Structure 1
């Protein structure tokens, strides 16, 4: 008779999902401690779980003001969870193993491959080393800029701490900030330097480490992988489209872009478009946006960031494949081709399947939230999409969530971070090859 450990096979997807759950539980215990709050009182288990989930899943939906509620200990816990959740716990564990010169096992390599959405295990340790170097270099450069920028007002030591916190948070697309008052980066809507540095951090965190690695070696090899081409082209198109739509829809809105000069309006539009990839920071009031803009943002958040990045959603590559599939069908083409390369039928089936599952998940979560929350429908849908896309933007619903509402959003953040693909494979008991095929039938479509 098999024991429990052999009966339940620890596959890479299960190890990945289980690892995230362990980190979230550990973070919950630490944030639940009175030591984590300035007041010296515990914030409550549900709120601690919500915050730990939001930080580990690099979402940024917050119940309490990070800058004023949490003590230094609590803020450091949040920051550590963001870093662990952003680069992945297996990546962090591998970094430590490399430093200690410990051999990386085959099982660990498989889990690493799963966590970084790599299609092959070859070169995964080299990629992990690059992730470490890129992350440290990018976060350090941005932290230094933020520290210099804030040193005049905060003093260098506090400015350096603020710089490190915000650099890590924005690069990992987490959206946590210490400025107070749930204002995010709205005081810096017209600060060109802060906007550009933040946009670069969001972009680099959102395209994923595989793309960053390709971009760095591009001057030598003069070649990009199909994945990188799709991610970069898709990100560019979505960013431009988002900026144009936000600029046009909000141009005369006195609550958002209306009072700003034309160049600041353009800067703010680009920033909000980029942040929709999964960042969670904003420079204009999200609740003050027109409903048309908010609905557009929901669609953009649902698409999300790139595979292997710190973001959620159905992923840019999935959206591009879906869009290309529709285009091929309308032109009467049998093959779906991107950058002169044919996309496999398996990838197309996966894109369609998981997109449909994501739509069902979002509708279900929104329906349940409508039962437990007495708020505007668009506000509820926005919150659900933000959680699934691990974006972290909110129209103001987060602080008014009921206990049931918090549970729903917690589940959405977790699924959004580990991904529907990983979750499905983690829950799947057995994947076997079919030994036979059924006869083909005809059905009317459309």
Structure 2
């Protein structure tokens, strides 16, 4: 894959496009037609940031406080956030049979975490088609059960969109309580979450290049997703569900599968998170931290970042100066970028935890859980969202936007890269 260099203006443009979209939709939520009860501007901004970042955290009860018009606006914003602003722009240009100018192509490439200008138009078109197909299929599969429980078709479609885009919102008012005892529906929702975090480029390569040799990007993502799903399933089943009363064996299997997928960025929970043990909640934080694939609906540091860091650590242990994966040598700049994302994410998490510990009254662990959920765009909460201060709401809103775009945009938006020509003498230092 050809290397692609981004100018600082590219990062700034994408960041401010998402920020502008957040403000515009926040204004729409403040319109009388959108809400049943008065909505504070900070709550509208928080809801808008959560929707466009496909997170799912909310300081208001969406089912009760938004009108039908407000829920439709939320549905549209979830779709925009899940697919990506520039992906929609690219798909529109393709539909109009208009070639995207070079600056627009650059924004599309960055918005989808790609590093090549090759086949970007095909990817944009595929994203929209793939999204519509999966969401429609999910809607049709869960509709009979939703109607049986007294829900309506719009709520079922809303849930389908929310699940695939990993937005984590629902408008029934009781979460997924209606589907606790329905393994089929939970299995469908689990598959939709997985399809949302797997990555558009991965799915496109699988469907359109079955006979061709798979790329390193494809192999790494499929392997990491397989490992994380299996690890999550085994952990939740043997730590919590195997001892949990009131569930059949089949329900325990499905719930374990669901929660192995949902913390990666899904946001929807089929059970109250307070029923989980402390080790399971810690494991959820780890899954939120890793997240899903680049060019997907998920957040986190991304699977490729985590895989590259593991590969580099293994190469250091073996005494190798180069990093290898699937008999390929990685570019040093990609390895450096992976470590930059990893430590920038951790720094932002701990710094936010430090700052908000002064302003928020929540207990330390629920606060840390909330911060990781916002930064990784997961949407899980231990119930402290509504009690956040105005400062806390604004802080988490920006964390969600950063999490949607990737923490590296925060660095490159406000810092200019300068290559140093100065070389210094080398000297060894004691380590460990």
TM-score over 0.5 (shorter chain) = yes
Provide the residue aligned with 1:28 in structure 2: 26
Q: How does 1:48-59 map to 2 (within 5 A)?
A: 48-59=44-55
Do the aligned residues in 2 keep the contact of 1:208 with 1:310 (CA within 8 Å)?
A: yes
1:440 corresponds to 2:426: yes
Q: 2:131 aligns with which of 127, 131, 135?
A: 135
Query: Using the alignment, how far apart are the partners of 1:412 and 1:165 within structure 2?
Result: 25
- The farther-off stretch of 328-337 and 386-395 is 328-337
In structure 1, the partner of 2:333 is 346
Offset at residue 134 of structure 1 (A): 0.9
Deviation at 1:252, TM superposition (A): 6.2
Query: Residue 153 of structure 1: CA displacement?
Result: 4.2
Mapped to 1, the partners of 2:114 and 2:103 lie a distance apart of 15
What's the offset of the Cα at 1:393? Answer: 0.5
Q: How does 1:190-339 map to 2 (within 5 A)?
A: 190-219=181-210, 221-251=211-241, 257-339=244-326
Contact 1:250 1:258 in 2 (8 A): no
Taking structure 1 as reference, are residues 201 and 404 closer, same or farther at Cα in structure 2, changes over 3 Å only?
same
Q: Distance in 2 between matches of 1:31 and 1:61?
A: 16
- CA distance in 2: counterparts of 1:217 and 1:252, whole angstroms: 40
**Larger RCO, structures 1/2 (Cα 8 Å, 6+ apart):** 2
CA distance 1:338–1:141, shift in 2 (3 Å): same
Tell me how far apart the structure 1 counterparts of residues 186 and 138 of structure 2 sit (CA, whole Å). 12
Q: Distance in 2 between matches of 1:119 and 1:10?
A: 15
**1:90 deviation in Å?**
1.2
Provide the rounded CA distance (Å) in 2 between the counterparts of 1:238 and 1:153.
33
Instruction: Quote the Cα distance in structure 1 between the aligned partners of 2:214 and 2:323.
Output: 19
Contact 1:36 1:42 survives alignment (8 Å): no
> Does structure 2 retain, via aligned residues, the 8 Å contact 1:147–1:162?
no
CA distance in 2, matches of 1:210, 1:78: 26
Deviation at 1:214, TM superposition (A): 1.1
Deviation at 1:375, TM superposition (A): 2.1
Contact preservation (8 Å) 1:172, 1:205: yes
Pairwise CA distance, 1:130: 1.1
How many residues in Structure 1 have an aligned counterpart in Structure 2?
Answer: 426
CA shift, 1:10, in A, is 7.3
Q: Distance in 1 between matches of 2:404 and 2:43?
A: 19
What CA distance in whole angstroms lies between the structure 2 residues aligned with 1:12 and 1:142? 35
Q: Secondary structure at the match of 1:43?
A: coil
Q: CA deviation at 1:321?
A: 1.1
- Written as runs of structure 1 = structure 2, the 5 A alignment for 1:50-69 is 50-69=46-65
Asked if structure 1 preserves the Cα contact closer than 8 Å seen for 2:149 and 2:178, the reply is no
Are the aligned partners of 2:22 and 2:49 in contact in 1 as well (CA < 8 Å)? yes
Q: State the partner residue of 1:19.
A: 17
TM-score by length of 2: 0.94
Mapped contact 2:373–2:379 kept (Cα < 8 A) = yes
8 Å Cα contact 1:295/1:378 also seen in 2: no
- Determine the C-alpha separation between the residues in 2 that align with 1:225 and 1:252: 39
Structure 1 pair 152/245, CA: closer, same or farther in 2 (3 Å)?
Answer: closer
Report deviation, 1:281. 0.7
Q: Map Cα deviations across residues 113-155 of structure 1 (whole Å, 9 max, x no partner).
A: 1111111011111111111211111111112222233234447
Q: Can you give the 5+ residue segments of structure 2 that lack an aligned partner in the other structure?
A: 1-6
Q: Helix, strand or coil: the match of 2:314?
A: helix
Q: Distance in 2 between matches of 1:225 and 1:234?
A: 14
CA distance in 2, matches of 1:68, 1:173: 21
Distance across 2 between alignment mates of 1:337 and 1:10: 30
Q: Give the Cα–Cα distance (whole angstroms) in 1 for the partners of residues 72 and 331 of structure 2.
A: 45
Does the aligned pair in 2 maintain the 1:287–1:396 contact within 8 Å?
no
Offset from partner CA, 1:375-433 (integer Å, 9 cap, x none): 2211111000000110000111112212122122112111111111222222223x343
Secondary structure at the residue paired with 2:58?
Answer: coil
Deviation at 1:274, TM superposition (A): 0.4
For 2:418 and 2:343, locate their aligned partners in 1 and report how far apart those are by CA, in whole Å: 23
Residue 357 of structure 1 aligns to a residue in which SS? helix
Distance in structure 2 (CA, Å) of the matches to 1:95 and 1:13: 21
